[in-house]
Amino acid sequence: MIISFSSLLPLSEKSETFAVSYESALLNGHPVRKSDPFRLTVTHHEARDMEVSGEGELVLEFPCDRCLTPVDVRIPLKIRRRFDAGTLLDEELENAPFAGEESIDVDLLITDEAMTGLPMKVLCRDDCKGICPTCGANLNEGACSCDQKEMPTRMAELLKKITDAGEL
């Protein structure tokens, strides 16, 4: 979604509010599960000195770190960016990749903002048991038939086979 602020440029300290939402299906590879419209206020201070602010929320899907089950994660957006519209004339202003001389690419702005708030680690639940390393079963859905006590025996058998075959 592109919003134009050209009508603000002839006036100083003028604001306009836009209803915006994130429109892409993915954000940094994560499926977007929910993106409610929220209000974004664009202010023209003076010359090319612009500001954009607003608060919203996205829900993105992440795989659980242990069992890979998809998990919905709320990503709060607290946008407050002062930027230079167009070329950088004032070193104190950010030359924002999401902004053109008269417009803002809302998806780029939201992506830029959300990237700083993405979780490092996601679990479907605190005590997620993960997946069985042998058969790949999701252990949250019950124990698999690979008895953990059998593991050392199986490993020993496997090692013996390899040794017997003269591969070690």
- Interacting residues toward Zn ion by CB under 5 A: 64, 66-67, 69, 124, 128, 132, 134-135, 137, 144, 146
Residue 151 C-beta: closest distance to Zn ion, Å: 10
Q: Are strands 70-84 and 49-63 parallel, antiparallel or unpaired?
A: antiparallel
Tokens, residue 54: 């607003």
Nearest distance, CB of residue 147 and Zn ion, angstroms: 9
Q: Return the number of the residue (25 or 121) whose C-beta is nearest Zn ion.
A: 121
Nearer to Zn ion among residue 3 and residue 146 (C-beta) = 146
Residue in the structure block whose two tokens are 């780029």: 108
Cα dist from 84 to 4, 11, 14, 20, 24, whole Å: 15, 16, 15, 21, 25
CB of 133 to Zn ion, least distance (A): 8
